[in-house]
Amino acid sequence: MRKDPPFDMEYVYTTYILERAQMQGALVVNRPQGLRDMNEKVYTAWFPQCCAPTLITRNMAEMQAFLREHGKIVVKPLHGMGGRSIFVVTQDDKNTGVIFETLTDYGQRFAIVQRYVPEIVESGDARVLLVDGEPVPFALARIPTATDNRGNLAAGAQGVGRLLTERERWVAGEIGPQLAAKGMLFVGLDVIGGYVTEINVTSPTGIRELEKQFKLDIAGQFIDAVTRRTIR
C-alpha cells in the first residue's frame, strides 16, 4: 500500500479492504492498521526521547507560548508532504498570528509545532530508511537552498548521501524494532540534528538517490524482507 498524502477517507477505506485480505492470509505491506494509526507527524510522540520539544495543538495561545519559550519554531499541518505549508517562525515575525490562524483554521484543526533545529542549514534533513526495522547504513541528507528553510527534495533541497551518524543509529534502534513488530516493513525517518521530526510510513522516498550514489540495492533488501515475512 503506497500513496502520497493527503491521508483522506478513501485511503482509510482502502486500508479496511486490505485488512480483510490480511485476515484471509495475505501479507499487506505496510500493515493497514499501522497506516491508520501512525500519522507521520503525530506518531513521533510515541518516541519523545528521540525528538526535540514538540507541541500538537489547535490552541493558538499555546502556540504563542511555545514560541516565546523557544524563540524560533517550525509550524506545519498534520496532513501535508513535500514541504507544503511548513513555516519557520520567530518571535519578531508579524505574520505569526495569521500563520497560526491559517494552519489551525482559527482553532478548528490540529497542527504541529516543533523547536527549530539550526543544524538543518549545514547538515540538512536526513532521511533514514528502515527495512523491517533495520536502518540502511547511509542517510540522504536534504540540504535546503539558500533561499528556503525546507529540507525537502520537492522544495528544491539537494540530496547528499552520507553514512549514518551514531545518534541516527541510536534513533533507528529506538524506533525500528517497534515499527517492524507492528508490520511496518518500509519506513523513512526524518532526522534533523539528531532529532526525529517525522516517521514516514505511507510513501517514504530516498531509495533511488541512495542506490545511485552508493551502488546499493535497497529495493532488493526490501523484497527480501517481504519474502521472509511471506515464508513465515
Q: What is the pLDDT of residues 60-77, one digit of tens each?
A: 999 999 999 999 999 999
pLDDT reported for residue 232 = 62
Domains of the chain and CATH, by start: 9-48+119-231 (3.30.470.20), 51-115 (3.30.1490.20)
pLDDT reported for residue 150 = 66
**Model confidence at 145: pLDDT above 90:** no
**Model confidence at 154: pLDDT above 90:** no
- Residue burial 180-216, b: 16+ Cβ < 10 Å; e: rest: beebbbbbbbbbbbbbbbbbbbbebbbbebbbeeeeb
pLDDT band at 4 (very low <50, low <70, confident <90, very high): confident
CA distance 148 to 232: 47
pLDDT band at 158 (very low <50, low <70, confident <90, very high): confident
Residue 177 preceded by cis peptide, ω within 30: no
Q: Mean pLDDT score of the chain, rounded to an integer?
A: 93
pLDDT reported for residue 106 = 96
pLDDT band at 155 (very low <50, low <70, confident <90, very high): low
Distances (CA, A) of 145 to 7, 74, 205: 28, 17, 19
Distances (CA, A) of 69 to 47, 53, 73: 22, 10, 10
What three-state secondary structure class fits 195?
strand
**Model confidence at 159: pLDDT above 90:** no
The percent of residues in the chain predicted with pLDDT above 70, rounded, is: 96
Grid-cell match 498534520, residue found? 78
Grid-cell match 528544491, residue found? 156
pLDDT reported for residue 156 = 76
Tell the burial category of 10 from Cβ atoms under 10 Å away from its Cβ (0-12, 13-18, 19+).
exposed
Grid-cell match 497542527, residue found? 111
pLDDT in tens, 82-120: 667 889 999 999 999 999 999 999 999 999 999 999 999
Instruction: Output the DSSP codes for 74-114.
Output: EEEESS--TTTT-EEEETT-TTHHHHHHHHHTTTTS-EEEE
Answer yes or no: are the C-beta atoms of 89 and 73 closer than 8 Å.
Answer: yes
Q: Cα Rg for the chain, rounded, in angstroms? A: 18
Which of 7-11, 42-46, 203-207 has the lowest average pLDDT? 7-11
pLDDT band at 157 (very low <50, low <70, confident <90, very high): confident
Query: Mind telling me the catalytic residues?
Result: 41, 76, 127, 142, 150, 190, 198, 200
**Model confidence at 216: pLDDT above 70:** yes
CA distance 99 to 51: 23
**Model confidence at 191: pLDDT above 80:** yes
